[in-house]
Amino acid sequence: MRPESPRRRVAVIGAALDLGQGRRGVDMGPSAIRYGGLVPRLEALGHDVRDRGNVVVEGVETLDVGQPEARYLTSIMRYGERLADEMVRCVASDELPLVLGGDHSLAIGVLGGLARAHGDAPGGLLWLDAHGDLNVPGTSPSGNVHGMPLAAALGYAPDHFRSDAWPLPMVSERHTTLLGVRSLDPSERSLIRSSELYVATMPEIDRHGLERCLERAIARLGEAPWVHVSLDLDVVDPRIAPGVGTPVPGGIGFREAHLAMEMLHDAGMIGSLQVVEANPILDERNATGALAVELICSALGQRIL
Ligand SMILES: [Mn+2]
């Protein structure tokens, strides 16, 4: 039997960041998810929801791109520090942070703030993504920082990602799972092989089923002092979630995505949640924004029966 869904105080935070990747439009992701009816849907589930608006970023046209190996990194770090303050405030007031992206580089500030809020203790992380996001400046073929946030959180390139606003590492390898991956760069592969990360690739999900992979991930999360769930919408197959900047065929299906959220909820593992990379310019009639709303609702207690 699943436990009754506890009512939560939920703080919705829009992270309208688009500096971490090359395609415009992902800064409108928070609006697309709100437009999909997020807040009333969460209220209908019994949650006490406060929409804290967006943490806005300066227009990319006014900013210095910096080094090509990590484009806009300085601006992304400053932005992350503002997001980190929001996370600390949420944790202090016992609100569940629900962060709407924005590109995935916003995870640097989210995880940094959560680690700081929990006394600098590295946490547990479930990273649902088509990609590894384990590049560091110098290994990334594109120089786009949205391919680096998991590496940053694990403390792999401290000289680039150090800040007074957070500790490093923010999360620990043995409590971190990467799920749904189907596109890795060579440097990411060798990094994974020499790490304690649990990486459930799409072939592994095909062979063992999402349920078993997720049970293993949840067991690791259960040993961590705090837990964050990071949902990159490109983990879902692009036929279902077309509105993402870097789609990769062969992703998890509609029901698998919901099953993951339902299992995490039932295990009491949603300490904080971010849903990233929704790009309404690339979307089809907000299908991806609407999917994000449905998945968030499943993660926060919505059930069919
Ligand atoms: Mn990602």
Q: What is the pTM (predicted TM-score) of this model? A: 0.97
Beta strand 198-201 pairing with 273-276 = unpaired
Q: Diameter of the chain by CA atoms? A: 54
Question: In the chain, where are the structural domains located?
Answer: 9-299
pLDDT tens sequence for the chain (305 residues): 455 667 999 999 999 999 999 888 999 999 999 999 999 999 999 999 999 999 999 888 899 999 999 999 999 999 999 999 999 999 999 999 999 999 999 999 999 999 999 999 999 999 999 999 999 999 998 999 999 999 999 999 999 999 999 999 999 999 999 999 999 999 999 999 999 999 999 999 999 999 999 999 999 999 999 999 999 999 999 999 999 999 999 999 999 999 999 999 999 999 999 999 999 999 999 999 999 999 999 999 999 98
CA of 106 to the centre of ligand 1 (A): 10
CA of 104 to the centre of ligand 1 (A): 5
d(CA 129, CA 118): 25
* Annotated binding-site residue? 232: yes
* Annotated binding-site residue? 64: no
CA of 212 to the centre of ligand 1 (A): 23
For domain 9-299, the CATH architecture is 3-Layer(aba) Sandwich (3.40)
* Annotated binding-site residue? 266: no
d(CA 283, CA 293): 15
What positions carry a catalytic annotation?
A: 104, 129, 131, 133, 146, 232, 234, 277
d(CA 113, CA 120): 9
CA of 10 to the centre of ligand 1 (A): 23
* Annotated binding-site residue? 283: no
* Annotated binding-site residue? 159: no
CA of 145 to the centre of ligand 1 (A): 10
d(CA 156, CA 194): 12
